[in-house]
Structure 1
């Protein structure tokens, strides 16, 4: 932006790199160009600064379609001042003194371009329906407005070059727009619901598959457990049979051992009995030829060996006489008398003890 320093009766102007200044003094051009710096007398000078950089002009207007629907059109126009001297002569870009109103050159350009855009857009929209306008109006309007503005005689004579036109939106009224959006919104909701249902169906299918796998696993485990129980029962039954067979074998062996022992013991007892019987028989055969007195003496001798100690022995005359009588009845023999004497001597000895 240009800067102006005021002094008494004179001022100094310093231009900007994007402003084209035109200095008129008494109707003739004294200075012009970009980035100028000069002294001038305010009382006899007129300064105009025209921007030479690209200018953006947003515009918004309404149009009626062929089916009598109102649509709003939003566009943006890019332009540039290619002839600043002609622009300064036809539009107000003057540098006003302090306290004065601003220049109206930009507003004039906005009005001109806005009216041209609205006029050509209305003509184009009037030939289409609302559906066609919403579908193809953006590209059609961009082409129509660009060609119309670039070929407009007023803009060319003013020194304005149109660099480009962008149509940003073509929209119907809010209630119509909502009505048009409703089918699409419902379709989107239906698609969303369908996606949800499909996702749920997939989830249910996956859960069913998981349940079937779990059930199959449980069935397989139950089958294996059944086989295991059957195998364990068979093993236990076989072990019991083996144990019973082993016990039977042990019982048979024990019975055989007991039978052998009993047979051996019986044989031993029989042999001992036979030996004892044989001894008794031999003894009895020996005693058959021995007289009564000798047997009595032997019996006394045998009894004397097993009798307890006797302190005193009383022999009555009857006993003595009977014994003597018996002795006397025996045949005279040295053996009987000697045995009787020994018996008597032994009895006396025991009695003495």
Structure 2
């Protein structure tokens, strides 16, 4: 937007980099171009500022298809003022010389012209298409038509307007029709989602079954190994018991053999001792047989004396001494009897 500064009886105009100004003084061209700066008198000057940058125009309109269905077209047109002088002569882009404000009438005229042309061409094309075709191929076909038709329009060329590009964003039916058309697709998507859910569940069940089978197989393998372990432990226990029994049998046999050998040794010793004692006894009997009675009696007294108590005091009377001497001297068959008359013996322990 240009800037107009007010001074007494004169004004100063300062243009912009995107505005092409046309200054007419008393009907004649005084200044023209982009970014102009000049002095002028408001009573004799007419100013117009035409934008030279790209302009974006959104277009929104309704059309009817061949099967009498209403559709909405949403598009956008990019254009530029390629001949600002012609545009300033054909359209109203006047600038107020007092405050620098620009009229919007020219922009509104361009919007109306471009919008009607785009709607006219698109409506003619959609009238030949069914709703299904418009929904599937309406956007590229409408865009191709407008790209060819708008730049070649003679009115736009005569006005100094060049169409740079056309964008068709959507061709949509009414909400109820669009919802009805979306139902099969939604059902198909839902069916695909259900199928994916079922497949996921089936896969989860299959994986769970696989896991359960693996766990069962592991349990079976553990049970088999445990059974083998029990069998091996039983075999080891039996072998150990057999080895212990064999060792005990060997020990028993050795003990019995030792007892037998000991018994035989003791028996042999007893036999030898008995034989020696018998031999000694026999020899003693032979000595006794050859000895006289007095000798035997003396031996008997000696043996008896060994079992008698100790005699601390012995009193020998003449009668006892006479009898003993008589026995020793004469003694055929006389027997000394202790405790006769006139003989006393006292023993003390």
What residue in structure 2 maps to residue 123 of structure 1? 124
CA-based RMSD: 2.5
What residue in structure 1 maps to residue 89 of structure 2? 89
Q: Which moved more, 1:92-101 or 1:50-59?
A: 92-101
Once the two structures are superposed, the pairs formed by residues 61-76 of structure 1 within 5 Å of their partners are 61-76=61-76
Q: Which moved more, 1:94-103 or 1:238-247?
A: 94-103
The structure-2 alpha-carbon separation of the partners of 1:316 and 1:268, relative to structure 1 and needing over 3 Å to count, comes to farther
Q: Distance in 1 between matches of 2:122 and 2:90?
A: 26
What residue in structure 2 maps to residue 224 of structure 1? 225
- Three-state SS of the structure 2 residue aligned to 1:147 is helix
TM-score, normalised relative to structure 1: 0.88
What residue in structure 2 maps to residue 177 of structure 1? 178
Q: Distance in 2 between matches of 1:138 and 1:33?
A: 40
1:204 aligns with 2:205: yes
**Alpha-carbon deviations, 1:248-276, whole Å to 9, x = none?**
11111111111111111111111111211
Q: Which moved more, 1:69-78 or 1:192-201?
A: 192-201
- Three-state SS of the structure 2 residue aligned to 1:178 is helix
What residue in structure 2 maps to residue 57 of structure 1? 57
Once the two structures are superposed, the pairs formed by residues 25-64 of structure 1 within 5 Å of their partners are 25-64=25-64
Unaligned runs of 5+ in 1: 332-339, 341-350
Q: Distance in 2 between matches of 1:197 and 1:302?
A: 124
TM-score, normalised relative to structure 2: 0.89
Q: Distance in 2 between matches of 1:352 and 1:123?
A: 174
Shift of 1:151: 2.1
Shift of 1:323: 4.8
**Alpha-carbon deviations, 1:299-341, whole Å to 9, x = none?**
222333454320233567886676556445557xxxxxxxx9x
1:286 aligns with 2:291: no
- Three-state SS of the structure 1 residue aligned to 2:313 is coil
What residue in structure 2 maps to residue 134 of structure 1? 135
Once the two structures are superposed, the pairs formed by residues 76-115 of structure 1 within 5 Å of their partners are 76-96=76-96, 97-98=98-99, 102-115=103-116
Q: Which has the higher helix share?
A: 1
What residue in structure 1 maps to residue 344 of structure 2? none
Count, aligned residues: 336
Shift of 1:73: 0.4
**Contact 2:59–2:76 (CA under 8 A) maintained in structure 1:** yes
What residue in structure 2 maps to residue 346 of structure 1? none
Q: Distance in 2 between matches of 1:276 and 1:100?
A: 168
Q: Distance in 2 between matches of 1:240 and 1:316?
A: 86
What residue in structure 2 maps to residue 348 of structure 1? none
Shift of 1:24: 1.2
What residue in structure 2 maps to residue 166 of structure 1? 167
Shift of 1:167: 0.8
The structure-2 alpha-carbon separation of the partners of 1:255 and 1:318, relative to structure 1 and needing over 3 Å to count, comes to farther
**Alpha-carbon deviations, 1:174-223, whole Å to 9, x = none?**
11111111111111111111111111211221221122122112211211
Q: Distance in 2 between matches of 1:318 and 1:226?
A: 107
Shift of 1:242: 1.0
- Three-state SS of the structure 1 residue aligned to 2:68 is coil
The structure-2 alpha-carbon separation of the partners of 1:300 and 1:119, relative to structure 1 and needing over 3 Å to count, comes to same
